[in-house]
Amino acid sequence: MTSITLTAVAGYRRTARRRLGLVALGLSVLILAFFMDLSVGPGPATMRQVVGALFDSSGIDARLRLVVFDLRLPIALMAVLVGAMLGLAGAAMQTILNNPLADPFTLGVSAAASVGASLAIAFGWVLLPVGGTLAVTMNAFVFALMASLALFGLTKLRGVSAETMVLVGIALLFTCNALLALIQYRSNETQLQQIVFWMMGSLGRASFEKIGICVVALGIALPWMLARGWALTSLRLGDERAESMGVKVDRLRLEILALVSLLAAISVAFVGAIGFVGLVGPHIARLVIGEDQRFFLPVSAVMSAIILSLASTLSKAVTPGIIYPIGMITSLIGVPFFISLILSIRSRGA
């Protein structure tokens, strides 16, 4: 028995070590993707100059400082942070809804944010007295949060099952899409163009204040979710099994929904609707690391951050001097990638 025991325990530990290795590898790739993102973009600066400026900013000229610290760094950091937030939110959503197709946008949070932004752009209707470009962001955030609260309240009222959450979320999504169509119908040509551009998603609106808010949101959500790691993993075995292990399933769902809403509302408000990242990142993580949530959640965040960083690089590198909306790029490269992923799973299963 002793030799068998040690062998199996060693097997588990080997798997755990391999996973930690994969986390480290993912982080290394992310750092590489981050520097690649920094090396392209507005202004003349090579990778070497950018890295040099980052590590020693004292002796650099004002132009390079402007390019690195004001133009490129906010975009590159925002790509990493928003990617991580969407990946984490998508992974948590897929776990609590027991649905691999769930992501933060499934439940209408993104559509609500778009309604808020469109109202500010088209008619200047803002819910909080904030002026300038911040009004659009703030309105998007408030609407996303309101949608989350409505989802939260209606779900609590009706019973917190995965099915209820999805149904209420889909109802919200359709309502918001209808409102969005109505706003677009009533807008003039310029307003319509602005709305469409906002909805395509762009990292160009990044700033260090927004980056700070993202860091705080991620700093709250990730440790919180990790602390529920065992409980979330037990949810994958079915509600009844999780309950028999002492997990308060309803409370856990609502708690995680609140965190997911916060992550989704902030990211959509800051960069617009960036699809697929919150869906694909967790899928890759699940393939390489399994669904032990202690590993699955952080790796999902890292994978999505890598994807968004690479998409950000691509959005600037395709046509020098032009930054394509990143939401467009993620969907364009995301869809074929996603289909090949599904096919590879199918063929492996066969």
Partner 1 sequence: MSLTIDDLNFAYGPHPVLHRLAAGPLERGALTALVGPNGSGKSTLFRCFSGAARPLGGRILLDSQDLAVLKDRERSRRVFHLAQDLSARAALTVFEVVLLARKSLTGGMDLRAGLCDLRLVQTVLGSLDLDGLSQRHIGTLSGGQRQLVGIAQALVREPDVLLLDEPTSALDVRRQLEVLQIVQRVTRERSMITIVALHDLSLAARFADRLLVLKDGCIAEEGDPEEVLQTQATSDAYRVGIHLERSSRGSLLVEPYLSSLRAAE
Q: Smallest gap, in angstroms, from Cβ of residue 290 to partner 1?
A: 5
Tracing tokens 């918001």 back to the chain, one arrives at 176
Q: Looking at the chain, how many residues does it have?
A: 350
Site size for partner 1 (CB under 8 A): 35
The single-letter DSSP state of residue 43 is: S
Distant-in-sequence, close-in-space partners of 34: CB < 8 Å, separation ≥ 6: 76, 77, 79, 80, 309
**Chain Cα centroid distance, residue 323:** 20
Residue 52, token pair as written in the block = 């040099």
Q: How far apart are CA 234 and CA 220, in angstroms?
A: 22
Per-residue mark of binding to partner 1, 174-213 (x: CB under 8 A): ----------------------------------------
Neighbours of 224 (CB within 10 A): 13
> If binding is defined by CB under 8 A, does position 233 make contact with partner 1?
yes
Residue 96, token pair as written in the block = 């609590």
With CB under 8 A as the contact rule, the residue among 290, 324, 332, 337 that binds partner 1 is 290
Q: Smallest gap, in angstroms, from Cβ of residue 232 to partner 1?
A: 9
> If binding is defined by CB under 8 A, does position 255 make contact with partner 1?
no
With CB under 8 A as the contact rule, the residue among 240, 319, 336, 348 that binds partner 1 is 240
With CB under 8 A as the contact rule, the residue among 245, 335, 339, 342 that binds partner 1 is 245
Residue 29, token pair as written in the block = 């790739």
With CB under 8 A as the contact rule, the residue among 146, 291, 333, 337 that binds partner 1 is 291
Q: What is the CA radius of gyration of the chain?
A: 21
Per-residue mark of binding to partner 1, 8-27 (x: CB under 8 A): xx-xxx-xx-----------
Q: What angle do CA 105, 107, 113 make, to 5 degrees?
A: 60
> If binding is defined by CB under 8 A, does position 5 make contact with partner 1?
yes
- CA distances (Å), origin 349, targets 13, 343, 344: 26, 10, 8
Q: Smallest gap, in angstroms, from Cβ of residue 246 to partner 1?
A: 3
Nearer to partner 1, 14 or 65 (CB): 14
Q: Smallest gap, in angstroms, from Cβ of residue 305 to partner 1?
A: 21
Q: How far apart are CA 252 and CA 150, in angstroms?
A: 18
With CB under 8 A as the contact rule, the residue among 32, 248, 335, 339 that binds partner 1 is 248
Report the candidate in 238, 195, 305, 283 with the shortest Cα–Cα distance to residue 98: 238
Per-residue mark of binding to partner 1, 96-115 (x: CB under 8 A): --x-----------------
Instruction: Catalog residues that contact partner 1 under the rule CB under 8 A.
Output: 1, 4-5, 8-9, 11-13, 15-16, 98, 226-231, 233-234, 236-238, 240-241, 243-248, 286, 290-292, 294
